[in-house]
């Protein structure tokens, strides 16, 4: 193992803003977003790809940011929960539905769920409960029991252009 960290350049666009940064090669994308860019809406739970709390959208695809190195996002377009709306006070229809259906309790997992479901809805409508649960299966919530999330997803899932 090298006795010093290796600095590497990362040139990446996050929520529409281009960032050119020098990071340690071993920095994960999750830690880069949180620690360097101070985008702390992305949460770090299990750090081995199981819980989904760190889910972000990279080049259009929902991915675990704990399982990508920051340097691998060089040249990529990254979206985090902070970028879902232009104005921090606004909510997307999905966020609004999460709120109304009590799909949020402690909130730790919420940003990961929002990024997974946002990506899924861009790919196509979600119209029945089995499909909704399939979409939600890649993220873990320990509070809500998922019922509210299923309801929120189904409420906005039939129309795909709002997201």
Partner 1 sequence: MKPGRFTYHAPRSVDEALAVLGQHAGDAKVLAGGQSLVPLLNFRVAEPGHLVDVNRLPGLSEPVRTATGWHVPALVRQRAVERSAALTGAFPLLGRALHEVAHPQIRNRGTLCGSLAHADAAAELPAVVTALDGRLRIASPRGERTVAAADFFVFHLTTALEDDELLLGVDLDDLPAGTTTSFHEFAGRRGDFALAAVAGQATRDTRGVVTRCRLVAAGVAGTPLRLRAAEDVLLGARLDDSALAAATRAAAREARPTGDVHASAGYRRDLVGTLTRRVLADIAAAVPTEELTHA
Output 17 or 147, the one with its CB closest to partner 1.
Answer: 147
Measured from the CB atom, the residue of 52 and 148 that comes closer to partner 1 is 52
- State in angstroms the smallest separation of the CB of 125 from partner 1: 15
127 binds partner 1 (CB under 8 A): no
**Contacting residues for 73 by C-beta, under 8 A, at least 6 apart:** 10, 12, 29, 32, 58
By CB under 8 A, which span of 19-27, 86-94, 95-103, 152-160 interacts with partner 1?
19-27
| 55 makes contact with partner 1 (CB under 8 A) | yes
User: Per rule CB under 8 A, is residue 120 in the interface with partner 1?
Assistant: yes
Interacting positions 91-110 with partner 1 (CB under 8 A): none
Closest CA to 121 of 83, 90, 160, 82: 160
Q: Is 31 helix (H, G, I), strand (E, B) or coil?
A: helix
- The answer to whether residue 121 forms part of the interface with partner 1 (CB under 8 A) is no
Any residues with CB less than 8 A from the CB of 125 and at least 6 apart, and which?
Answer: 157, 158, 159, 160
Instruction: Answer yes or no whether residue 78 interacts with partner 1 by CB under 8 A.
Output: no
- Nearest C-alpha neighbor of 70 from the set 39, 112, 116: 39
Tokens of 5: 């960290």
């Amino acid at each position: 193992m090298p006795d010093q960290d290796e600095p590497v350049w990362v040139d990446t666009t996050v929520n529409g803003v281009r960032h050119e940064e020098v990071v340690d090669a071993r920095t994960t994308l999750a830690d880069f977003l949180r620690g360097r860019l101070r985008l702390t809406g992305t949460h770090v739970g299990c750090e081995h790809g199981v819980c989904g709390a760190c889910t972000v959208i990279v080049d259009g695809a929902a991915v675990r940011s704990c399982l990508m190195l920051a340097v691998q996002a060089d040249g990529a377009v990254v979206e985090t929960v902070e970028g879902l709306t232009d104005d921090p006070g606004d909510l997307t229809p999905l966020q609004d539905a999460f709120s109304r259906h009590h799909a949020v309790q402690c909130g730790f997992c919420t940003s990961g769920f929002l990024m997974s479901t946002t990506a899924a809805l861009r790919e196509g409508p979600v119209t029945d409960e089995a499909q909704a649960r399939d979409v939600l299966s890649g993220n873990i919530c320990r509070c809500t029991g998922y019922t509210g999330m299923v309801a929120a997803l189904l409420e906005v899932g039939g129309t795909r252009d709002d997201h």
